[in-house]
Every structure is written in C-alpha cells, then in structure tokens.
Amino acid sequence: MTVKPPPRVSDPAVWKSAAFPDESSWTVQLTDSHIMELESAAERIVSSAIDAPGFGQDAFALPTLGSVLADQLTILEHGRGFFLLRGLDVDRYDPQLLRIMYWGICSHLGTGISQNTYGELMSDVTDHGEVFPGEDPYRYNIRAHRTAVEISPHTDSCDHVALMCVRPAQQGGGSAVVSALAVYNEIAASRPDFVETLSRGFFLDLVGKGTEDKQLSVHRIPVFSYFDGKLSARFNKRQIELGAEKLGGGLDPLSQAAIEYIQQVSEQNEFRVTMEFRAGDIQVLNNRVIFHSRESFMDDADKGRKRLLWRVWLSSHQPRPLAPEFADQLNSGRRGGVTKRF
C-alpha cells in the first residue's frame, strides 16, 4: 500500500530546467544508418502482413538503433524521465509506413495499451472540431487532446506516453515538461500541510475512459504515491475537481488549494523545459515522474493542414514499482489501458 512520502525525495528524475542548457541535452538525433534500419524493419512488417500497430519488439529488429532505444528506456525509468527523438522525414513515407516505423520504435520501449473506448493503440491528437461551451472540454466528457485548447500540467494513465509530430500547428501548440518529483519536493518544503491530502488522493472523473460512461475511479488515486522506495505521480486538476463535484460536494478548501499549488509550481520557468515540435519529432515521457502540458494552438484553415500528433500509451519494459491502488487508474486492472466498449 502507499505510505506517506518522505519530506524530500532523491531521484535522478528530480531536476529543474537549469539542468538542461539547450535541447541537445535531451534530444537524440537519428543517423542515416538508423533510418535505413527503420525502413528495412518496416518493409519486413509490410511484406509479412503483420498487423500494425500491435506487433512487438521481436518483430522489429533494429541492430544499432535498438541499443540507442535501450539506453533511452533506462533514461526514462532511471534517469530524467524524458527524451526527444529527431530525424524522421515525414514527407518521405506514406502514412502507413510511417506509423509502422513509429510503432516499431515504441515497441522497444514498452507494450502498447488501449487509450480509448474503441481500443485504439495509436490515436490522433488533433482538433476534431467537437463543440462545447467555454474552454473546459472535460465538463462535457470530451478529452482535451481532441481539441485545440491549452492543456495544463498533467499525467496520462500509463507508464510512458509517446507523441509523434506529423504536422505542427500554424501557431502555438508548444510542449512543456516538468519533473513531478521536483514539484513534490517544493511542495513538501514550502507547504508540507498539503502532503497528506495529496498522498491520500482523490476519486477521479475518468472523462469517458472508464468501464462505463461518466464513471469515476473506483478508489482514491494519490497525486503522489510512495511505494518500494520510489515516488510516483498522477495528476489532472480538472479530473480531480470534476470527480469531487460528481460525488456531490466539491473539494474541501485544503485540497483545492493543494492542487492549485501544484499547477502554480509546475508553470514556473524554474521547473519547466519547453519544446517546439518539428515534423518527425517523437517525444517520449515517463508519466510516473513527469508532468506535461500544451499551449493552445491555431491551425492553418486556408490550407487545411491541421496540427497532427500520433499518440501511443505504453506499459514499460522496465516498469517503476507502483502500489496496487495507484497502478489501477482506469478501473481496468494493474497498469491496464482504457476498456474497449465499442
């Protein structure tokens, strides 16, 4: 079970933005030989008529890039918790071959899990044009990645999330990542009165991701969970607030102040590393130790070229130890994805 976290955690995933003077600190550049390996592996998948996405690492051998990805997996799980892979020319390939190469890269980091009620293993992060009043899609059971609105610091419900930029936005859409563990240390030092309520956790509104529509998590999910000597995080401010509303009362003042403080700290430049995606970039994050956010964006309506990212949720090949009540975040079992209902 989760125990109260210590007053300060030491972990390679505790960092602030000053640790990374420029993007070379966290960017891996694909070489010509890496790209040739990806092309060859993808062509084997096509010729073998293997379903994609869905195949595993064994079906996608990468003689030299594989060791690079193994090193990055170690960084995800035992280091800073994020990296960006750069160098794929998206205009060079048809979409299906590009999806195969992207999935093949992901297969070396983990096993794909469902991320929506249709059981999709790879989903489009784009503005789907869904209409809702105001700027809060969650209130209307619409997941924010399907819109163009700003998305505040949060985690997804999986070990790793990968995002491949197929087309950047005409304007905006920048990404930021934050060490959730550094945010915890700041909270524990400056507002220790928040630690108990955050480690006790909340019933989350699953925003349509549960085993039934309009479902909450079946148990409290800690924002900060300390288990087997490791601190992990799960945070989505709106899902916490809406979960409390659906239970009939809203959050108590201390809990509301605590989650607002998380957002406040996470948005300080001292903690944030920002990224501007280029076409072909692949960002991979460890959701257990990293908060991520997104600027709002505008598409090029005249040319019909909409911002498009492909998202993959992964169960890690080197998983961080998680308390049982923390590991089930979608009412689908330990490290389970979204239950397929359609």
Using a pLDDT cut of 70, give the percent of the chain over it.
98
The tens digit of pLDDT for each residue in 32-50 reads 999 999 999 999 999 999 9
CA angle, 332 as apex, 331 and 335 as ends, to 5°?
105
Q: Token pair for residue 161?
A: 């999330």
CATH code of the domain in which 100 resides: 3.60.130.10
Average pLDDT, the chain: 95
| Residue 148 included in any domain | yes
Mean pLDDT for the stretch of residues 190-195: 98
- With respect to residue 283, please indicate whether it lies within any of the assigned structural domains: yes
Q: Give the range of the structural domain holding residue 65, as residue numbers without chain letter.
A: 24-327
Rounded (5°) CA angle 226-228-234: 35
- Quote the radius of gyration of the chain (alpha carbons, Å): 19
Q: Is 159 inside any structural domain?
A: yes
DSSP string, 150-162: -EEEE--SSSEEE
pLDDT tens per residue, range 65-108? 999 999 999 999 999 999 999 999 999 999 999 999 999 999 99
Tally of domains in the chain: 1
Chain-centroid distance of CA 275 in Å reads 14
Task: Say whether pLDDT at 2 is over 70.
Answer: no
pTM of the model: 0.95
Whether 307 has a pLDDT exceeding 90, the answer reads yes
Predicted confidence (pLDDT) at residue 293 exceeds the cutoff of 80: yes
338 within some domain: no
pLDDT of 1 > 70? The answer is no
With respect to residue 60, please indicate whether it lies within any of the assigned structural domains: yes
Q: Is the pLDDT of residue 303 over 70?
A: no
The verdict on residue 8 lying in a domain is no
Check whether 300 has a pLDDT greater than 90: no
Is the predicted pLDDT of residue 135 greater than 80, yes or no? no
Average pLDDT over residues 311-324: 98
Residue 132 has a CB neighbour count (10 Å cut-off) of 14
| CA 149 to the chain's CA centroid | 17
- Please state, in angstroms and rounded to a whole number, the distance separating the CA atoms of residues 110 and 88: 20
Q: Would you place residue 272 in the very low, low, confident or very high pLDDT band (cuts 50, 70, 90)?
A: very high
The reply to whether 339 falls in a domain is no
**Is 300 part of a structural domain of the chain?**
yes
Q: Name residues whose C-beta falls within 8 Å of residue 134's C-beta, 6 or more positions apart in sequence.
A: none
